[in-house]
């Protein structure tokens, strides 16, 4: 009788194991709250970086001087802050968000964690079109060559996809196609700059990637293109999540893979074309940031993409500030700093993927 009344161990142990397994895992609501708190912390970090970008330069300023330069036209710091550093900071914010989102989109659509607008030739396509417009057509100014940048970015996006195999493209084939096209376009840009000395003088700072010399008018012209690209990119998060499960599963969940890819190409073209036209070809920003973000958000693109839009400007403006500090009273162009920082990180990502596969 005593044995009959005792609770059966086999019947209760699975429940205990299930409870124990789930106890260490955060619930969906807790994950959502953690990601929201992380995004809020990223926004605070971005605000601090914006303040640092306004305060640091050949002439360091205190936060009180920065504030006075923003609100008081009679302040001695007004010219430095409002007319020089503020447009530069806004440009870094917009270009960083554009490149970070473009990188996140490209890695999601191609399923290649090493995809990047620079590595896949999209930035080089925009650069080649802009350099051609400057040298052969005499086009000058952002409004003059932004349309050439869009055309070049779109053409290379389609070309890489076609050469990489179209619908049958694999991440490796896309990377090889992008690398080959990027090398050819970079050679073309260098050849044009060497043969046309007048164009070389206009393009030498632009071609290396720079936020220096930013003007309020350029920022105002850039903003609409970036904002449309940002809205389009953020709206693709749910559909891209479905596509990570495969095209058949995506269709079953209501997504249309062909339409999602087309929308992603439009968003990448807007983001990369505008950023490249305004700042020149900046590399590695779109590669590094999505990798860092995935360690914070996991695979959910509804969170990855907003994080990329916030943290990429932190990286770009941080590199710009570092370039001002290292070469004071002059400065290193931000494209040089991001290339120096991005090269070792790219090798680290490649090596880590090989170790995981092994």
- At residue 2, the pLDDT reads 42
What's the domain range around 206? 83-210+220-345
In the predicted model, is pLDDT for residue 15 greater than 50? no
Q: Which residues contact 355 (CB under 8 A, 6 or more apart)?
A: none
**pTM score of the predicted model:** 0.83
Query: Are 330 and 275 in contact, with CB atoms under 8 Å apart?
Result: no
53 within domain boundaries: no
Per-residue model confidence (pLDDT) at position 354: 54
Q: Which pLDDT value is given to residue 169?
A: 62
At 1 the pLDDT is 39
pLDDT above 50 for 99 = yes
Q: Smallest Cα–Cα separation from 271: which of 213, 223, 237?
A: 223
Which whole number is the average pLDDT over 325-347?
83
**251: which residues sit within 8 A by CB, 6+ positions away?**
257
DSSP 319-344: HHHHHHHHTTTS---HHHHHHHHHHH
Mean pLDDT for the chain overall: 82
pLDDT digits (tens, 9 = 90+) for 142-189: 777 788 888 888 888 888 878 877 666 666 677 788 888 988 998 998
- Tell me: pLDDT of 30 over 90: no
42: pLDDT strictly greater than 70: yes
Measured CA to CA, the distance from residue 246 to residue 243 in angstroms comes to: 5
- CA triple 90-88-129, angle to 5 deg: 90
What's the pLDDT score for residue 320? 93
150 within a domain of the structure (yes/no): yes
Helix (H, G, I), strand (E, B) or coil at 169: coil
Distance CA 244, CA 264 (A): 14
Residue 94 covered by a domain: yes
Looking at the structure of the chain, the number of domains it has is 1
CA angle 62, 68, 69 (to 5 degrees): 90
Residue 175 to residue 106: CA distance in whole angstroms: 11
Domain for residue 46, yes or no? no
The answer to whether the CB of 228 falls within 8 A of the CB of 268 is: no
Q: Does the pLDDT of residue 340 top 90, yes or no?
A: no
Structure confidence at residue 14 (pLDDT): 44
Q: Would you say residue 104 lies in a domain?
A: yes
Instruction: Determine, yes or no, domain membership for 251.
Output: yes
Q: What angle do CA 155, 277, 208 make, to 5 degrees?
A: 105
pLDDT at position 10 over 80: no
For the stretch 250-309, pLDDT in tens is 788 777 887 888 888 889 888 988 888 888 888 888 888 998 898 888 888 999 999 999
Q: Is 29 among the domain residues? A: no
Is position 323 within any domain? yes
CATH number (domain holding residue 327): 1.10.3470.10
What pLDDT, on the 0 to 100 scale, is given for residue 254?
Answer: 76
């Amino acid at each position: 009788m005593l044995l009959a009344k005792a609770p059966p161990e086999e019947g209760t142990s699975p429940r205990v194991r299930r409870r124990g397994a789930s106890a260490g895992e955060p619930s969906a609501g807790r994950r959502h709250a953690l990601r929201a708190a992380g995004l809020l912390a990223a926004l605070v970090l971005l605000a601090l970086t914006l303040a640092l970008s306004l305060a640091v330069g050949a002439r360091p300023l205190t936060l009180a001087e920065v504030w006075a330069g923003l609100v008081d036209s009679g302040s001695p710091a007004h010219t430095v802050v409002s007319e020089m550093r503020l447009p530069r900071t806004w440009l870094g914010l917009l270009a960083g968000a554009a490149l970070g989102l473009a990188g996140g989109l490209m890695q999601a659509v191609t399923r290649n964690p090493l995809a990047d607008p620079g590595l896949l030739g999209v930035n080089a396509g925009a650069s080649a079109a802009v350099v051609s417009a400057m040298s052969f057509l005499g086009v000058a100014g952002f409004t003059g060559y932004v349309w050439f940048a869009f055309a070049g970015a779109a053409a290379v996006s389609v070309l890489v996809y076609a050469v990489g195999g179209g619908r049958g493209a694999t991440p490796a084939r896309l990377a090889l196609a992008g690398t080959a096209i990027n090398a050819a376009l970079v050679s073309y840009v260098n050849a044009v700059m060497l043969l046309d000395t007048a164009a070389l003088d206009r393009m030498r700072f632009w071609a290396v990637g720079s936020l220096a010399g930013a003007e309020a008018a350029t920022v105002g012209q850039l903003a609409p293109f970036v904002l449309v690209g940002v809205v389009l990119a953020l709206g693709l998060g749910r559909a891209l999540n479905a596509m990570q499960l495969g095209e058949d599963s995506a269709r079953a969940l209501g997504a249309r893979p062909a339409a999602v890819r087309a929308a992603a190409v439009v968003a990448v073209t807007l983001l990369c074309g505008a950023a490249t036209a305004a700042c020149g070809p900046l590399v590695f920003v779109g590669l590094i940031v999505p990798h860092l973000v995935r360690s914070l958000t996991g695979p959910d693109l509804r969170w990855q993409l907003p994080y990329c839009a916030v943290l990429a400007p932190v990286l770009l403006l941080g590199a710009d500030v570092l370039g001002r500090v290292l070469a004071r009273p002059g400065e290193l162009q931000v494209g040089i700093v991001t290339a120096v920082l991005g090269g070792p990180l790219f090798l680290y990502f490649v090596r880590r993927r090989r170790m995981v596969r092994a």
